[in-house]
Amino acid sequence: YVCSLLDYAQKQVVPFSGGRLIGNYDGRIFLASSSSIYTIQPIPIEKRIEMLLGNEDAQEALHLVENECARRRIDEKFHNLLRNVRIRAGFIFFKNLELDKAKDMFIAGELDPREVCIL
């Protein structure tokens, strides 16, 4: 199972049979069978967020970026990322007619209301 480091919730199942060895080296997990060696490594947070938003999983993307911003309190790059994720999440909620959530995200992301009006 692949679990989140934030809340230890199961995120993915990777089937692997015939395993002989498993090890964690420098943040990478290595798996060995009798004929092959595999590695699992973390995906950069920006790419994970893009993938989540691409799949319209706004809640998970928000959760991920908010936790990262809390961890890096003064990092301006991640505060800008948080703002952009909130706006994109707002549009996802808007598309799904979750209008209260969309409004909250637009306000939190400091979206100019004219951008919504021109849709």
Statement to judge: residues 31 and 9 lie in one domain = yes
Statement to judge: residues 8 and 53 lie in one domain = no
Which ranges constitute the DSSP H helices of the chain? 45-54, 58-71, 76-95, 99-108, 113-117
pLDDT at 74: 67
User: Does the model's pTM come out above 0.85?
Assistant: no
pLDDT at 107: 94
Statement to judge: residues 71 and 112 lie in one domain = yes
Statement to judge: residues 59 and 85 lie in one domain = yes
Statement to judge: residues 111 and 57 lie in one domain = yes
pLDDT per residue rounded down to tens, the chain (119 residues): 677 766 777 877 878 788 888 898 888 889 898 888 988 888 888 999 999 999 999 999 999 888 888 877 767 888 888 999 999 999 999 999 999 999 999 999 999 888 888 77
Q: How many domains does the chain have?
A: 2
39 pairs with which residues across the strands? Answer: 30
Task: Answer yes or no: are the C-beta atoms of 55 and 89 closer than 8 Å.
Answer: no
Statement to judge: residues 66 and 8 lie in one domain = no
Statement to judge: residues 79 and 95 lie in one domain = yes
Alpha-carbon distance of 31 to 13, in angstroms, equals 14
Statement to judge: residues 92 and 111 lie in one domain = yes
Statement to judge: residues 64 and 95 lie in one domain = yes
Instruction: Give the range of the structural domain holding residue 92, as residue numbers without chain letter.
Output: 45-117
Statement to judge: residues 100 and 63 lie in one domain = yes
Q: At what angle do helices 58-71 and 45-54 cross, to 10 degrees?
A: 160
Statement to judge: residues 53 and 110 lie in one domain = yes
Report in angstroms the alpha-carbon separations of 15 from 18, 31, 32.
10, 12, 13
Token digits for 104?
């909250």
Token pair 């798996």: residue? 31
Statement to judge: residues 89 and 31 lie in one domain = no
